[in-house]
């Protein structure tokens, strides 16, 4: 895959760097991407909360289902499945597990555990991508699959890692893309910490919705 040329180094003089960055982000359509991502994220949260409320009022007792899950399956089983999901391209939306956490004996403790497992799953995905040079055919296939994320990483760097951590963009796919292009690991670890913020905000919204029904 052809690598996109990095933008020219921007002078660090005060009063020069910010306008230059602004022009660069405008040229690369970062602001349009940020706006559409924020809208998708807000809509996704509203739809999930609406589904919870709708199911509770008109179809089934969603709270009872969550309580049954808590009573039937040990936390280690749910958490293990969540880690696998967060490592393999986000199979199940994290919101489902956040809703489950609301019915556990210590909801915010489990939110912290979920956020930590999501962070760990991203690290695993990073190393999977990083080591795929030993399997060229798989590496090429995945580079094509996450080509858009790789392109965005090369354009926007750390700020795209943050978006992967807090937005509906699958965190595992961004992490895999980071590994594929051998993105700076320490920078990846630092900016992926925003994953905790995402879980905290989503947990507050979902817990509030479940308490209201």
Task: Look at residue 165 in the predicted model and tell me its pLDDT.
Answer: 93
Task: Look at residue 90 in the predicted model and tell me its pLDDT.
Answer: 72
pTM of the shown model: 0.81
Task: Look at residue 58 in the predicted model and tell me its pLDDT.
Answer: 65
Write the burial class of residue 50 (CB in 10 Å: 0-12 exposed, 13-18 middle, 19+ buried): exposed
E strand or H helix at 42: helix 30-54
- CA 82 to chain centroid, in Å, comes to 13
Instruction: Say if residues 126 and 178 touch (Cβ distance below 8 Å).
Output: yes
Q: Is the C-alpha dihedral spanning 63, 168, 42, 115 positive or negative?
A: positive
What the block records as the tokens of 163 is 């978006």
Q: What 8-state DSSP symbol labels residue 133?
A: G
Q: What pLDDT tens digit does each residue of the chain (213 aa) get?
A: 445 554 444 445 555 577 888 788 888 888 888 888 888 878 877 887 777 677 666 666 667 777 788 888 899 999 999 999 999 877 788 988 998 999 899 999 999 999 999 999 999 999 999 988 788 888 888 888 889 999 999 999 899 999 999 988 889 999 999 999 999 999 999 999 999 999 999 999 888 887 766
Instruction: Say if residues 63 and 213 touch (Cβ distance below 8 Å).
Output: yes
Q: What is the dihedral of CA 25, 172, 120, 123, to 10 degrees?
A: -70
E strand or H helix at 78: helix 75-87
Task: Look at residue 201 in the predicted model and tell me its pLDDT.
Answer: 93
Residue 113 dihedral angles phi and psi, to the nearest 5°: -65, -45
């Amino acid at each position: 895959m052809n690598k996109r040329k990095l933008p020219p180094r921007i002078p660090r003089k005060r009063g020069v760097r910010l306008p230059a960055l602004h022009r660069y982000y405008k040229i690369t359509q970062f602001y349009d991407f940020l706006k559409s991502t924020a809208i998708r994220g807000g809509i996704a949260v509203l739809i999930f909360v609406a589904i919870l409320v709708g199911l509770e009022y008109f179809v089934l007792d969603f709270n009872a289902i969550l309580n049954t899950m808590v009573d039937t399956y040990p936390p280690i089983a749910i958490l293990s499945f969540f880690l696998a999901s967060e490592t393999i391209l986000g199979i199940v939306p994290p919101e489902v597990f956040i809703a489950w956490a609301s019915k556990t004996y210590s909801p915010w403790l489990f939110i912290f555990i979920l956020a930590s497992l999501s962070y760990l799953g991203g690290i695993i995905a990073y190393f999977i991508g990083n080591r795929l040079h030993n399997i060229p055919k798989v590496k090429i296939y995945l580079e094509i699959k996450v080509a858009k994320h790789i392109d965005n990483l090369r354009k926007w760097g750390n700020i795209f890692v943050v978006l992967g951590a807090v937005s509906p963009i699958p965190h595992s796919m961004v992490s895999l893309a980071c590994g594929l292009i051998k993105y700076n690991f320490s920078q990846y670890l630092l900016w992926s910490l925003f994953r905790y913020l995402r879980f905290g905000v989503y947990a507050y919204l979902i817990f509030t919705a479940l308490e209201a029904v």
